């Protein structure tokens, strides 16, 4: 009997459009001979299942099921691809834990830690991981232009500490840009990160582990056509994504070993992607950890899977079956 798989997408942030694209990617990747697939859209209190005929029906949150005509369908597994709250910050993971429904990604603690960039980076710093100098502002707090220049320097990045897809991110080059950038970032989240600029090569590396194996994917080199790897670079093609990255075998191994170590330190599950900047002297600096990375057909993880000579369908099966 086929298992019923919910591909859970949507969410309550600006990343909803990216999430829905990832859901279509995952739908195309999972083996339909083995599983019954349904996309579940979540936005606020609206939880709906997309039916094959195009109609949508509500999800019963009491047991995470839905009714299709006279048939009640209960989900056996959730593939979470919400980028942002509630799917990336641990909230949805807590719900599925209480429902005793296995899911694709990290548990509550790892999701909550990695969703907050400042918390995650400071936590990993204690394990010897190199990070940029940064400071955190919470809603209601302020900082003068002079303090930013003195403590962090220019240029710097001002961005939401929560969320992703480069929404609300500004590369600040002058004092006059600081306060507008803070306002912009607070428009996306209640915590804002002011982070020192690091000049170097941007890399990203995917990894997943099951009970039987560890798979560390070839790193991708990210060469943006813009000031930084912003939304247009990520989703509108204004970037060169080179997989495998044009780096030495030794640096490739270091990136992969650190990615694997971060996976274990955080207690991750499913597929993660870790972003880095390589600065002068081949120093490897952490940017952030993504525990629900984008999964459109052109996203980094599918690219890296292809470069590794793997079949994305088999990877999806690994992720699902590892939870049973």
Over residues 209-263, the pLDDT tens digits come to 999 999 999 999 999 775 644 444 444 556 789 999 999 999 999 999 999 999 9
285 marked as part of a ligand binding site: no
Is 15 known to be catalytic?
yes
CA atoms within 13 A on the CB side of 268: 29
Strands 220-224 and 201-209: antiparallel
Average pLDDT over residues 49-70: 93
* Per-residue pLDDT, 53: 87
* Per-residue pLDDT, 14: 79
Q: Which of 19, 104, 161, 299 is catalytic?
A: 299
Average pLDDT over residues 54-60: 94
The CA distance from 323 to 314, in Å, is: 15
* Per-residue pLDDT, 230: 45
End-to-end CA distance of the chain: 15
Name every residue whose Cβ is closer than 8 Å to that of residue 318 and which is 6 or more positions away in sequence: 208, 210, 213, 215
Identify which has the larger pLDDT, 30 or 190.
30
Q: Where do the domains of the chain lie? A: 1-103, 110-129+198-320, 132-194
The H or E element that residue 50 is part of is strand 46-50
Q: Could you tell me which CATH number the domain at 110-129+198-320 has? A: 3.30.470.20
288 marked as part of a ligand binding site: yes
CATH fold of the domain at 1-103: Rossmann fold (3.40.50)
Write out pLDDT tens, residues 253-288. Answer: 999 999 999 999 999 999 999 999 999 999 999 999
Is 146 known to be catalytic?
no
Average pLDDT over residues 166-193: 89
CA-wise closest residue to 27 among 309, 313, 270, 307: 313
55 marked as part of a ligand binding site: no
1-103 with 110-129+198-320: one CATH topology? Answer: no
Is 133 known to be catalytic?
no
Give the gyration radius of the chain's Cα atoms.
20
And the tokens for 10? 């949507």
Q: Give the chain's mean pLDDT.
A: 92
User: To 5 degrees, how large is the angle CA 73–CA 78–CA 84?
Assistant: 130
* Per-residue pLDDT, 15: 83
**Positive/negative CA dihedral, 108, 114, 116, 122:** positive
* Per-residue pLDDT, 238: 64
Q: Structurally, what CATH architecture does the domain formed by 132-194 represent?
A: 2-Layer Sandwich (3.30)
* Per-residue pLDDT, 200: 94
DSSP 103: B
Share of the chain above pLDDT 70, in %: 95
Write out pLDDT tens, residues 128-156. Answer: 999 999 999 999 899 999 999 999 999 99
Q: Which of 14, 134, 161, 165 is catalytic?
A: 165
């Amino acid at each position: 009997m086929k298992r019923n798989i919910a591909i859970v997408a949507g969410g309550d942030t600006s990343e909803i459009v990216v999430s829905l694209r990832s859901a279509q990617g995952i739908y195309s990747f999972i083996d339909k001979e083995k599983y019954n697939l349904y996309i579940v859209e979540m936005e606020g209190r609206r939880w709906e299942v997309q039916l094959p005929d195009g109609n949508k029906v509500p999800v019963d949150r009491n047991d995470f099921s839905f009714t299709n005509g006279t048939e009640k369908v209960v989900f056996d597994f959730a593939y979470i691809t919400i980028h942002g709250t509630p799917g990336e910050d641990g909230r949805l993971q807590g719900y599925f834990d209480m429902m005793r429904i296995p899911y694709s990604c990290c548990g509550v603690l790892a999701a909550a830690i990695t969703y907050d960039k400042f918390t995650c980076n400071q936590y990993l710093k204690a394990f010897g991981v190199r990070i940029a100098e940064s400071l955190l502002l919470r809603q209601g707090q302020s900082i003068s232009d002079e303090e930013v220049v003195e403590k962090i320097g220019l240029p710097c990045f001002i961005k939401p500490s929560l969320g992703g897809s480069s929404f609300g991110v500004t590369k600040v080059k002058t004092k006059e840009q600081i306060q507008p950038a803070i306002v912009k970032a607070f428009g996306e989240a209640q915590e804002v990160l002011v982070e020192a600029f690091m000049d170097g090569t941007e890399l990203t590396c995917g990894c997943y582990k099951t009970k039987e194996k560890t798979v560390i994917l070839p790193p991708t080199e990210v060469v943006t056509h813009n000031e930084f790897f912003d939304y247009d670079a990520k989703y509108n093609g204004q970037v060169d994504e080179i997989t495998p990255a044009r780096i030495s075998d030794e640096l490739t191994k270091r990136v992969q070993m650190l990615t694997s170590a971060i996976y274990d330190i955080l207690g991750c599950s499913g597929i993660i992607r870790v972003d880095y900047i390589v600065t002068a002297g081949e120093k490897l600096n952490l940017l952030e950890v993504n525990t629900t990375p984008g999964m459109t057909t052109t996203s980094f993880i599918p690219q890296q899977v292809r470069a590794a000579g793997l079949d994305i369908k088999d990877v999806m099966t690994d992720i699902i079956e590892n939870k049973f």
